[in-house]
Amino acid sequence: MAKLNKNLLLQRAEGEFLNGEFSSALRDYGLLLKDYPTLDEAKVGVYLSDLGIDSSEEALALFDYYQAIKDEKENAAEIIDSLIRSLDSSKDALKKLLVDPIQEQIEYSDGIRYSDFLELVKQRGSFKKTFEDIMFSTKVIITNKDEFIDFVKKLTAEGFDEMAFSYLDASSSLFGNDQDILTLYTLVAGHK
């Protein structure tokens, strides 16, 4: 079977990607990888098309970043892959923190409601000590934006700046450009 015209298919896949046709782009990038398994543009295209199906803004931003660095860095495809893995792990961490109200009752067996956590803090007299005692064994279950904001502020006040940044980064797709959430970045950055 003859190999596909690499440049033509790459142009088509890129055009589909930029038009938001992520499933079509994923298919075409996949066809390219079949014939050209070491082609970085196809690898990145697959990563970003798959991401674009769930989050077009993130995928397009990473695509722009890749275009800017691909000629300067030999490992540009690895950098993009690493960024996507980092996004995924941040989102997974936030999903453990924020719970869909429908799943709330099921999840409570694995964690503690934020309001109950605050009661423990009140009893013990220290947010930091209470959080350190449970952070590796129990999830703190946050169910709304106000609880999230309060939690991030308390993390920052107690010196858990990196953790606060991680929660903020992971929440970016959940809260979008919510000004209350964006303001927290300034708070945490100013605390360092």
**With bands split at pLDDT 50, 70 and 90, how would you rate the model's confidence at 73?**
confident
Q: Specify whether the CB–CB gap between 117 and 148 falls below 8 A.
A: no
Name the burial class of residue 69, with classes exposed (0-12), middle (13-18) and buried (19+) by CB atoms within 10 angstroms of its CB: middle
Mean pLDDT of the chain: 79
C-alpha span between 133 and 39 (Å, rounded): 48
- Of 75, 141, 130, 133, the closest CA to residue 108 belongs to 141
Q: Whole-model pTM?
A: 0.46
The domain ranges of the chain are 6-89, 95-191
Q: Indicate the helix (H) or strand (E) that contains 14.
A: helix 6-18
How many percent of the chain have pLDDT more than 70?
82
pLDDT digits (tens, 9 = 90+) for 122-164: 988 888 888 887 877 678 888 888 888 899 899 889 888 888 8
Would you tell me how many other CB atoms lie within 10 Å of the CB of residue 92? 11
Higher pLDDT, 100 or 124: 124
| Token pair listed for 160 | 């858990």
How many percent of the chain have pLDDT more than 90?
12
Lowest mean pLDDT among 74-78, 98-102, 153-157, 164-168: 98-102
Q: Specify whether the CB–CB gap between 66 and 44 falls below 8 A.
A: yes
| Token pair listed for 131 | 């959080």
**With bands split at pLDDT 50, 70 and 90, how would you rate the model's confidence at 1?**
very low
Looking at residue 91, what is its pLDDT? 60
**Residue tagged 């798959």 (tokens):** 50
Mean pLDDT of 34-38: 87
Question: SS3 for 125?
Answer: coil
Looking at residue 109, what is its pLDDT? 55
Tell me the β-bridge partners of 27. Answer: none
pLDDT digits (tens, 9 = 90+) for 156-184: 898 888 888 888 887 777 776 777 877 88
